[in-house]
């Protein structure tokens, strides 16, 4: 994997989130929080989970080396898994867009040397971990893709248009 691969993934991430959020912006409040029979009960919960996971991983990445994105005041805060990050759909869309810009800036800083290093961190349960940084970064993008698929399913169940995930549009 190269730094160019991750720049493509960051562009894709930002693009597809923006496209998905065009569909989410058309939801009413009841649809945003309508319960489904999944682990994450509604679209809001899924969006919240993705955001907190991205945030947590980016904070962990500071263990590799200092990155400029961590100077953003956002990273002075700590979220727990049960944090409710968004007050409204608009709040979510604004915060997601800002966060995607941070992710893109971060990826622009990542070097090939970084990708070859190991990241040492603790799991959510406190267990020491050591993983290839490139693999962990790939996981972050894959995690978003996985949960956007769940959001797509929930939109489908609401009878909403939701074709937004084509990577081929960027290559």
pLDDT (tens digit per residue) in 4-26: 999 999 999 999 999 999 999 99
Residue 168: pLDDT band by 50, 70, 90 thresholds? low
Residue 42: other Cβ atoms inside 10 A? 18
pLDDT tens digits for range 31-77: 999 999 889 999 999 999 999 999 999 999 999 999 998 888 888 88
CATH code for the domain in which residue 99 is found: 1.20.120.450
**pLDDT number for residue 167:** 67
What letters, b where the CB count within 10 A reaches 16 and e where it falls short, cover 51-90?
Answer: bbbbbbbbbbbeebeebebeeeeeeeeeeeeeeebbeebe
Report the alpha-carbon distance of residue 113 to residue 165 in Å, rounded. 30
Domain that holds residue 19: 3-170
pLDDT (average), residues 81-110: 95
**pLDDT number for residue 142:** 95
Domain count, the chain: 1
């Amino acid at each position: 994997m190269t730094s160019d691969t991750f720049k493509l993934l960051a562009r894709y991430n930002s693009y597809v989130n923006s496209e998905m959020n065009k569909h989410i912006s058309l939801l009413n409040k009841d649809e945003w929080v309508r319960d489904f029979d999944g682990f994450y009960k509604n679209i809001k919960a899924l969006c919240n989970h993705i955001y907190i996971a991205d945030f947590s991983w980016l904070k962990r990445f500071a263990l590799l080396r200092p990155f400029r994105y961590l100077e953003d005041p956002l990273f002075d805060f700590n979220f727990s898994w049960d944090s409710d990050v968004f007050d409204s759909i608009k709040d979510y869309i604004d915060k997601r867009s800002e966060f995607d810009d941070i992710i893109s800036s971060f990826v622009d800083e990542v070097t090939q040397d970084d990708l070859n290093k190991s990241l040492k961190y603790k799991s959510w349960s406190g267990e020491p971990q050591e993983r290839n940084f490139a693999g962990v970064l790939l996981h972050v993008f894959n995690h978003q893709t996985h949960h956007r698929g769940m959001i797509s399913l929930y939109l489908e169940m609401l009878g909403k248009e939701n074709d937004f995930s084509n990577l081929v549009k960027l290559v």
